[in-house]
Structure formats: structure tokens, C-alpha cells
A and B are shown apart, each in its own frame.
Chain A
Amino acid sequence: MNAVKIYYTMLHLECACMWRKQLQCLQGLMFFCLSVVFLPFAVGSDLNILQAVGPGYMWIMAIFASLLTADSIFSIDNQSGFLEKTVSAPDCLTAYYFAKLTAYFIFSSVPVILLTPVLSLLYQLSIFTIIILSITLTLGTFILNLFTLLGSILTLPVNQRNNLVQLLILPMITPVLIIGTMASYFTEPNQLTFSYIYLLLAIFLVAMFLLPIASIYLLRCGNT
């Protein structure tokens, strides 16, 4: 079996597993929705404040929502021994990693991204801001998921339920956060926004190249 077929099989498996655990998948989404809805109760419903704080706040809450279920990505496979079996076959391991990455992106980040335009209406953000926010959030959460998988592999040997992934990943995700929010703060189309999006694309390409190598290496040498 070649790697692509293994990838599709594992992706199908992951999606079936996640579909059974619907409450866990909705954890991030519920966190995101609740935090976005409850901000005006905390800061007042003055639209100037909400529009000034809104895009950045939604970015941060999207990051935390994606990080909520980070420690359970590999833990079940690790406990059941499936991870050790997968590690011993090289093709299998790469396909397994990318299947986990895709499944994690689909189930923890995509719902957030899909709901962002709807929730941005609560802050009355302009249409251009909503579009740019969605684009930057897509790129940003994918980069975040790359880092999150690496973080959960790093914290695999830890036996307790922990929030260590967030502590490890957040300093590294700061440039993505800065660039993404700077892009989302423009209310009208102009030249500068797309330069930020190109920068995000550049970081995405570098991360997509380097982080799977590091993660797969860690999976292999951490388990032998």
C-alpha cells in the first residue's frame, strides 16, 4: 500500500472517531462562540470599543479554541499501542501524521473559521474586515495546528492532563498572531492588507516544510 492510500484510510478513521465524540469536537467551537458573545457584557456595548478590540479578540479566542483539545490528539493511540505500531513503518508514520493534522484542522479549526463571519456581525465589523479576518484565520489556524501537533508530540510522555501545549506553543505563534491581527484591522481594501497575507503565506510555507519533519522525527525517536 502506498502512502496516499494509507493517508486516506487513516483520515477516514480519524473522521469516524471524531464524529463519534461530537462533544469533544464542539468544545473549541463552544468556547469560541461563548467568549465572543460575552465580550460586550464585559466591556460595554460601545461599538467603537468592540470594533477596535473585535478582530484581535476573535483571533486570540480562535487560537485558544483550537488549543483546547490539544493534549488528547495522540494520547488514545499512545495508550492503546496503535502509535507504536505505526511508528515502525515509515510510510505509515508520515501518512498517520498528515491524517491527524488534517483531521485536527477539520474538526477544531474549520468550525471556528466558518462561524467567524456570523459572529463578526455581533461587532458590526465591515465586510472587508470579515473577509480578511476569515482568510488570515484560515492560514493562521493551520499554522497553529502544525505547532499544536508538534506540541502534543512533545508532551506525549507526560502522564497527566495538562495545558503544557499552550505554554509551549503560544510564544512561537506570536508572530502569526501579530501579522494576522495587523491585517484584520483595515476596514477598507488597500494595498497593505495583502502584503500581510503574503507574509502569512510565507510563514505557512516555511512551517509546512519544517514542522512535519520535526514532528515525524520526534514521533519516531520518542517511541523507540
Chain B
Amino acid sequence: MSESHHHHHPHVAEAPGLPDASLVLEQALRELLIEKGVFTADELRFAIEAMEARGEALGAKLVARAWTDPAFKALLLDRPGEAIATMGLNLGVNELCVVENTENLHNVVVCTLCSCYPRLILGIPPTWYKSRSYRARTVREPRAVLAEFGLVLPEVVEVRVHDSTADLRYLVLPMRPAGTEGWNEAALAGLVSRDSMIGVAEVRRPEAVGMS
């Protein structure tokens, strides 16, 4: 499955009542493709399984490596495609864009048009990311949305919203928390939550994972 604009998903749970027209269309198309031998049912099942098995671990690893390796961080920000290729990753037709949080700048990602998301490195997007409410409000009142996620930012911090409308997929590089000096990459990766890489939260606090 590519990173492109998939709105529907085979084998989704069905609501009671008549099926949605798009579900009927998906089923008809799927059955035809299988019948014509374009792919087998097992290949489709495998692709879904692989897609759903992905989580945010790859993203967390990228962030932790950037925190510990300045050369990798520079590459990740400047030429992210090359940076992820060192880990054997390739976003295909889409391109990764990494945006860095600092003391003065907080980045948050939304796709107002649909639900574009870097699935290869963060897995399946959370349900709220696809909600109309998050999509409409994050560009309109980002600080209010972030506050509802528990992240209240002072006025002196610039909030920058990235609307993922086209061919880029975004990863927020969160700030490395204080109190993690000397931590290795694996321990640091344990602090990096999915939501911190979408930009609706800070990373986990060191004391929260019992390492400090």
C-alpha cells in the first residue's frame, strides 16, 4: 500500500443498516482485481497486515538518532529521504519533510483535505487525526486544539501549523528533554510518543519512564 490518499480501507467494521456506497464500490473493485488475478486475496491480506503492524517505532528511532548524532540530525532536516534510506526506508512517491521544534517554535501537523500521514514511519493515523473537527480546527485555532490535548504554549512560542495538502509527509522532531544526558538511543526512543511526532504533545518526561 502506498502513502497516497487512501480514504477507505478494505475490511472495515460495518455500521448497522445499509452499507455506505463507497464500501460497496471498494468491495466490487477488490473482488474484480482478485478475480482478474491482479493480486491474490492472500497478498491483499498480507499488505493490510503489514500496514497495520507498523507503529511509531521507526519515527521514534529517527528522532532518538537525531538527538544523539548531529550529522544524522542535519541530514534528516536537510535531506530526509537520504536519512531514512540509511535505515532502509523509502516513502515511494511521497517525500518526507522533517520540522524541528525549538524553544521558540512549535510545529503541529494536520491534513485539512483528507488525512495524509507518514504511515511508513508512524503507522496508521489515530482516529482523531482523521476527524473533521481536528482537520478543520487545527488550522483555525491551533492553540485551542493543543490545549485540549493538554499542551498549553506561551505566547512567545510561535505555533506553526503544517497543512499536509500535497506530496510531502511531515514528521515533527520534538525537543530532547532535559535530564536525559548520557542516555543511549534506545532509551531516548522510549520517550518519543506518536503524538509528539504529530506535534500535539511534548515527548514523555524522563521521570515518567523511570530512567532518571
A binds B: no
**Chain A residues at the B interface, C-beta cutoff of 8 Å:** none
